[in-house]
Homo-oligomer: A and B are copies of this chain.
C-alpha cells in the first residue's frame, strides 16, 4: 500500500503557515495553544529524559506544561523550516531556531518537530510535538 495515497498536496504551505501561527501564539499568549492540540490524542516530549521525565499526553497535560514554563516572556526566532507529507494527509514539520526568554541576552538554540494531521474541517491539529534545546 502506498503510504502517501492520500497525500497533502500543499504540505509546504500548511507547514509554513502552522509554524508562523504556532510561535506567534506561543510568544503572544501561550495559553491559547491548547486549540492546536487534540483531546487525549496529542503528545508532547519536552526536554524528556529518564532522570527528568517530560512526556505529556492530551491537551490538558500539554497546556499545563507549556503554561508552567518558568518565564514571563519568550521570543522564538525561526531559522529553518522543513516540511514533508506523511500518511493520512498529514505533514511533518521540523523547526530550528533561537529563543530568548525574559531579559536574557544570549539566545538558546532549539529544535522542534511536529506531526500535523487533518482535523476534518480543513484545518490541522498537532499529533506529535517534540521540543529540544540544542545543548550538551
Whether, in the assembled complex, A82 has its beta carbon less than 8 Å from a beta carbon of chain B, the answer is yes
For the complex formed, measure the closest distance between the CB of A135 and the CB atoms of chain B, giving whole angstroms.
8
Asked whether, in the complex, the Cβ of B117 is within 8 Å of the Cβ of A134, the reply is: no
Asked whether, in the complex, the Cβ of A92 is within 8 Å of the Cβ of B113, the reply is: yes
Q: Which residues of B are found within 8 Å of A67, using beta-carbon distances?
A: none
Q: Which residues of B are found within 8 Å of A92, using beta-carbon distances?
A: 92, 113, 115, 128, 130
Which of B3, B4, B134 is the one whose CB lies under 8 Å from A111? B134
Q: Interface size of A by Cβ–Cβ distance < 8 Å? A: 31
Asked whether, in the complex, the Cβ of A48 is within 8 Å of the Cβ of B3, the reply is: no
For the complex formed, measure the closest distance between the CB of A45 and the CB atoms of chain B, giving whole angstroms.
4
Asked whether, in the complex, the Cβ of B132 is within 8 Å of the Cβ of A84, the reply is: no
Whether, in the assembled complex, A136 has its beta carbon less than 8 Å from a beta carbon of chain B, the answer is yes
Chain A interface (Cβ < 8 Å from any Cβ of B): 2-4, 41, 43, 45, 48-49, 79-80, 82, 84-88, 90, 92, 94, 96, 109, 111, 113, 115, 117, 127-128, 130, 132, 134, 136
17 examples of A-B residue contacts, CB within 8 angstroms? A3-B117, A3-B127, A4-B41, A43-B84, A80-B136, A84-B128, A84-B130, A86-B115, A86-B128, A87-B88, A88-B88, A92-B113, A94-B132, A96-B134, A109-B134, A111-B132, A115-B115
